[in-house]
Amino acid sequence: MNELGRGRFKAFSAGSDPVDGVNPFALETLTSLGIPTTGFRSKGWEEFAKPDAPRMDFILTVCDKAAGEVCPVWPGQPHTAHWGIPDPAAFEGDDDAKLHHFRAAAVTLTRRIELLLSLPLHRLDALAIKHEITDIGRN
């Protein structure tokens, strides 16, 4: 989102159950796409639910597991949607297969981000935005 949005958005990433360190296959995938990874770290989503957290306009959950989890209450009532994909970190197999799953997730998320970026957000009301971002997650 940060790369494709070219300054229109400031994206953050967090999870419901963070682990120590960023997955090396995620880093390799991002690097192969020309996305800088300096400073990335594993963090929990509660970090972004605190009163002093950056203001969020959108919360997009992506892990299939997250669809059944109770999310924090986000300050500022951002638009939320679930863009579920299979968690590539949960795949068990050899390194080539793991990397394939991370790259497949990146392709899906890239396509969805491009769809979000193409929306005329300034012309849509809150209900229409909710509908559109939810619909993107179904593609």
Burial 32-60 (b: 16+ CB within 10 A, else e): eeeeeeeeeeeeebeebbeeebeebebbb
Give the model's pLDDT for residue 35.
93
Phi/psi of residue 85, nearest 5 degrees: -140, 155
CA distances (Å), origin 58, targets 14, 95, 96: 13, 33, 33
pTM of structure: 0.89
Q: How many domains are there within the chain? A: 1
CATH classification of the domain holding 86: 3.40.50.2300
What is the three-class DSSP state of 22? coil
Walk along the chain (139 residues) and give the pLDDT tens digit of each residue: 999 999 999 999 998 888 889 999 999 999 999 999 999 999 998 898 888 899 999 999 897 765 566 777 788 889 999 999 999 999 999 999 999 999 999 999 999 999 999 999 999 999 999 999 999 999 7
The total number of residues shown for the chain amounts to: 139
- For the chain, what is the radius of gyration of the CA atoms? 15
Domain boundaries, position 34: 2-136
What confidence score (pLDDT) does residue 66 get?
54
Question: Which residues make Cβ contacts (< 8 Å) with residue 27, sequence separation at least 6?
Answer: 37, 40
pLDDT at 16: 84
What pLDDT is recorded for position 49? 85
